[in-house]
Structure 1
Amino acid sequence: MGAAAEAALAAAATGFGVGISLILAIGAQNAFVLRQGLRREHVFWICLTCALSDALLIAAGVGGFGALAAAHPWLERAMTLGGAAFLLAYGAMRLRAALHPSALAMAQGAAMPLRAALGATLALTWLNPHVYLDTLALIGAVGARYAGAERLAFGAGAVTASFAFFFALGYGARALAPLFARPQAWRWLDLGVGALMWTLAFGLLTS
């Protein structure tokens, strides 16, 4: 293996490591993917939407879009307010669902239509200011250390991390299906997700 190939491989490994370390943090998007994976509803399309969204944002970050956001501070403020409003609304929905155990079992309750599921996925992704910090700012800053083929390899590694994580989370959630066959388990999951959404929202508003 030549020096150029080794350098590109090292950059890709760094990109994968940075990407996976940022995405592992529990957040609104991950909680939604986990919940839909447990319910086995539109798992492929939700995971694909999350991964492709990350890929676009990572490409923009590695390409230098972070400088534009830094030049226009109002963008961060607008994203913060929009994200907080969505998190508060979605958290309220999950807390309300926790009050109705009969609707919580996987075999019961109306399934979320694909269009609604994708809409929620896109909102939880693109209205979350933290995703811009992670992809445009942090990944973009690390990627700026590379040039040419190495920068492309770094971005590819970070994108690969997103695809691997989301599909592992969505389909891996099925291993927990026996536990969540009980309505009481869904009650606690919805309570936890709702509390997480509100905590994130208030954190955005007070940061």
Structure 2
Amino acid sequence: MEFALLGFLTGLSLILAIGAQNIFVIEQGLKKQQIFLVCLICSLSDFILIFLGIFLFHYFNQYFTPTIELVLNILLIIFLIHFIYSKIKSFNTQVNLEKKSNFNEKKDVILKTLGFTFLNPHVYSDTVFFLGNFSKNFFIIEKYSFGIGATIASFLFFFSIGYLSQYFARYLNDKELWKYINIFIILFMFLIALYILGEIFKFF
């Protein structure tokens, strides 16, 4: 039980850092669009990466080279530029919080969620490498407990921020307010893109 609690607290401390993925989840919650799907994808992705780190840590530690990290950073910067461009392009479009999503919109949300999750090297450093390295000397049953605790933290966090955002959306159904929200999202993603560019330049 103590290893499950340790996993929960460790996982929660890692995931609480504000990043592009968390901002995206919050935005979908505010829009009331595919919240359950977005939260589920993020949580299940963490579950997969956490247990990959715990049970295959030495394998990943050997093969996750700086070159692979560079490639992921380049893919992430391309993804962020496209996301920022799309945000700017639709800047004056009023958000309809009651709109039902069609198939193409659902597909777009899924792809964006996967992009924010799996193209971010820091997701791997937190889940695979940190948690895997932290638990490498645990007994097998302790590894399971630790992983389950960390996974519960992930599910709790993503579904909390997603549905809390949905709750507060009732106070945000205002065109001018959404402009400020979009400005914040654009600026935040731009700062993350600058940080990723810095990481890319360090490689050279």
For residue 145 of structure 1, report the CA deviation from its aligned partner.
3.4
Residue among 90, 93, 97 paired with 1:106: 97
Counterparts of residues 14-33 of structure 1 (less than 5 Å):
14-33=6-25
Residue among 22, 28, 37 paired with 1:36: 28
Amino acid at match of 2:94: A
Counterparts of 1:69 and 1:110, CA distance in 2:
41
Normalised by the length of structure 1, the TM-score is 0.87
The answer as to 2:127 corresponding to 1:135 is yes
Correspondence for 1:81: 74
Unpaired runs of at least 5, structure 2: 200-204
Normalised by the length of structure 2, the TM-score is 0.89
For residue 107 of structure 1, report the CA deviation from its aligned partner.
4.5
Correspondence for 2:182: 190
Counterparts of 2:136 and 2:61, CA distance in 1:
15
Amino acid at match of 2:85: A
For residue 141 of structure 1, report the CA deviation from its aligned partner.
1.5
Q: Provide the identity percentage.
A: 32
Counterparts of 1:136 and 1:49, CA distance in 2:
17
Q: Secondary structure at the match of 2:56?
A: coil
| Aligned structure 1 segments of 4 or more residues deviating by more than 2 angstroms | 64-73, 95-98, 104-112
For residue 54 of structure 1, report the CA deviation from its aligned partner.
0.6
Counterparts of 1:49 and 1:109, CA distance in 2:
20
- Which whole-Å deviations, capped at 9, do the CAs of 1:100-155 have from their partners, x for residues lacking one? 0x423524797771111111100110011110111111111212131210011001
Amino acid at match of 1:87: L
Correspondence for 1:121: 113
Correspondence for 1:199: 191
For residue 85 of structure 1, report the CA deviation from its aligned partner.
1.3
- Which whole-Å deviations, capped at 9, do the CAs of 1:163-202 have from their partners, x for residues lacking one? 1111111111122113311111211111111111121122
Q: Secondary structure at the match of 1:144?
A: coil
Counterparts of 1:14 and 1:38, CA distance in 2:
32
RMSD of equivalent CA atoms: 1.9
Counterparts of 1:149 and 1:110, CA distance in 2:
43
Unpaired runs of at least 5, structure 1: 1-8
Q: Secondary structure at the match of 2:17?
A: coil
Q: Quickly say closer, same or farther: Cα 1:66–1:179, change in 2 above 3 A.
A: farther
Correspondence for 1:168: 160
The answer as to 2:58 corresponding to 1:58 is no
Correspondence for 1:5: none
Correspondence for 1:4: none
